[in-house]
Structure 1
Amino acid sequence: MPLSSADLPSSTPRYALVDALRGCAMVWMTLFHFCFDLAHFGLWAQNFRIDPVWTMQRTAIVSLFLFCAGLSQSIAVQQGQSWTRFRWRWLQIAGGALLVSLASYAMFPQSFIYFGVLHGMAVMLCVVRWSAGWGRWLWWVGSAALCLPPLAAYAFANGAEALAPWFNAPALNWLGWVSRKPFTQDYVPVFPWLGVMWWGMAAGQWLLFNKPDWLQRPLPGLLKGPAVLGRWSLSYYLLHQPVLMGGLMAFLWLAKR
């Protein structure tokens, strides 16, 4: 998932608060996916596509992940992370995205993940890293990115209907300018989510310049566990669903014996 402080040179300080925030998002994500898996296997009747209880949680979890990714990028830039090191981490994320697509195709061939959170991050990290020097303008472009999808939906409903099929198709729906959500298990388009990552970068730059002590304060005991987990976010993200689903499948198999 987001670039973690473990990706920085060992001589640079680790900001445990960012790791803890990321770790908390991972714990929340795990609980969310466990509930999703219960519904998928018919053990709990829930509608994760339209029920606000679940759709709002998903939005909050993805937002926290991407905001942390922006924070991490601000730290990486401030501490002089090289483009070579950035490219290596980017290849890991892009490779993880490919694995997610292949695994989801095996499980859900009709609704496999072709532009989920890792796919979106692979694109957005490049944009955010390239625009790191924009300073306070990051707040404004982030706000604009958040506004673009509803503006596109309004345009499609008021005079630009002919364009909607083009942007709803897989070739362009990764942009997020759609009039209907595509049928896929995970969908994190560039817009509006790039705005969240831009805000994370802007917030990180502001904190590092004005309040660096906020990021360096000792963590309360309750957050120390999530901070450790947050250092291994990509590996955890790739492994947690196979473990959860495999455990539930084993449980169902044993229950039938």
Structure 2
Amino acid sequence: MSIGMMAEFLSYYSLWISMQTSPVYESTKRSVFLDVYRGSAVLLMMIFHFCWDLRTFGFMEYSIYDPFWVYFRSLILTLFLSAVGWSTYTSLTKMKGNTSFWRRDSKLFISAASISLATYLAAPNQWIYFGILHFIFVASLITRPFAKWPISSALTGAAIITLYHSTNWLHFPNAFSTITDYVPLPQRTLDIVFPFPWIGVVLIGPLLGYLNWHKCPMPSFLLIEVLAFMGRFALPIYLLHQLVLFALVAAFKMVLELLT
């Protein structure tokens, strides 16, 4: 297993551990609509990574900077991150204290720190110092007080996204190089998530809970059941899918080489 695959596996494993305490999975009564919503993101993510694997082994040729793939990735992130704010709101309406939240935050912080340590040991020139786990930890702390006022939270999130896409106010093109000049961080990293505009997406999430989207009835047919299943078991699927897909494509490539 290469260093990159090892680091990716550690990232998936830590994210799975940390999100086991997420409010999404603490409710006793699940929302089919929210499961389908999250399951749709899981399905798109699997398609995205499968195409990535095909590209890695030479079965497809495309640039990850092509507009289609940029928007495709943005759609996946939007679904996942809006679900973070959404589930935060629904959990706040059910919980009487913050004990579960702080327990989750502690585990999330430890998991993020573990990813940084593990990738530093495995790939010191590309270790992860602010990846998806680090972002979710910070975004959870920021979103929680806003989630109590979902309309204000959504307006704030919309304002952030609008400013990011219509102005340069929230663009910091030299921030990365400036930070690495003063702090001994690598010039390249295996994973990095910039706060803007994605914190805006998380802040819009509570509005979906306020509008009771999770209570929307869903028809019962095969596609809905499959998506709901994927949403219900999103974490283990998220943890294992890329390893399975990568191995399958690699095995197929090996068989083709043996036959030719």
* Corresponding residue of 2:40: 24
* Corresponding residue of 1:245: 246
SS in 2 for 1:169: helix
Q: Can you list the C-alpha shifts for 1:132-174, whole angstroms capped at 9, x where unaligned?
A: 2234211221123224545773687xxxxxx853x123849xx
Alpha-carbon contact 1:4-1:232 (below 8 Å) kept? no
Change (3 A) 1:114 1:47: farther
Q: Distance in 2 between matches of 1:108 and 1:53?
A: 31
TM-score between the two structures when normalised by the length of structure 2: 0.73
Structure 1 residue corresponding to 2:70, chosen from 40, 55, 61: 55
* Corresponding residue of 1:232: 233
* Corresponding residue of 2:12: none
Report the aligned-residue RMSD.
3.4
SS in 2 for 1:14: coil
Unpaired runs of at least 5, structure 1:
157-162, 173-181
Count of residues in Structure 1 that have an aligned counterpart in Structure 2? 232
* Corresponding residue of 2:4: none
* Corresponding residue of 2:200: 195
* Corresponding residue of 2:217: 217
* Corresponding residue of 1:77: 92
Q: Distance in 1 between matches of 2:41 and 2:177?
A: 31
Change (3 A) 1:197 1:238: same
How do 1:60-209 and structure 2 match up within 5 A? 60-80=75-95, 82-91=97-106, 93-94=108-109, 97=112, 113-150=128-165, 153=168, 165=174, 167-169=175-177, 171=179, 186-205=191-210, 207-208=211-212
Alpha-carbon contact 2:150-2:206 (below 8 Å) kept? no
Paired-residue identity, %:
31
Which residue type is aligned with residue 248 of structure 1? V
Alpha-carbon contact 1:4-1:230 (below 8 Å) kept? no
Alpha-carbon contact 1:100-1:238 (below 8 Å) kept? no
SS in 1 for 2:30: coil
Change (3 A) 1:138 1:67: same
SS in 1 for 2:160: helix
Give 1:54 shift. Answer: 0.6
* Corresponding residue of 2:58: 42
Which residue type is aligned with residue 215 of structure 2? L
TM-score between the two structures when normalised by the length of structure 1: 0.74
Q: Can you list the C-alpha shifts for 1:212-232, whole angstroms capped at 9, x where unaligned?
A: 7x6241443221221122123
Q: Can you list the C-alpha shifts for 1:10-68, whole angstroms capped at 9, x where unaligned?
A: 3xx321101110011001100011101111222211111x1111111001110011111
Change (3 A) 1:129 1:37: same
Unpaired runs of at least 5, structure 2:
1-14, 181-186
Give 1:101 shift. Answer: 5.9
Q: Distance in 2 between matches of 1:241 and 1:106?
A: 22
Q: Distance in 2 between matches of 1:171 and 1:91?
A: 26
Give 1:126 shift. Answer: 1.6
Q: Distance in 2 between matches of 1:69 and 1:35?
A: 26
Q: Distance in 1 between matches of 2:219 and 2:122?
A: 40
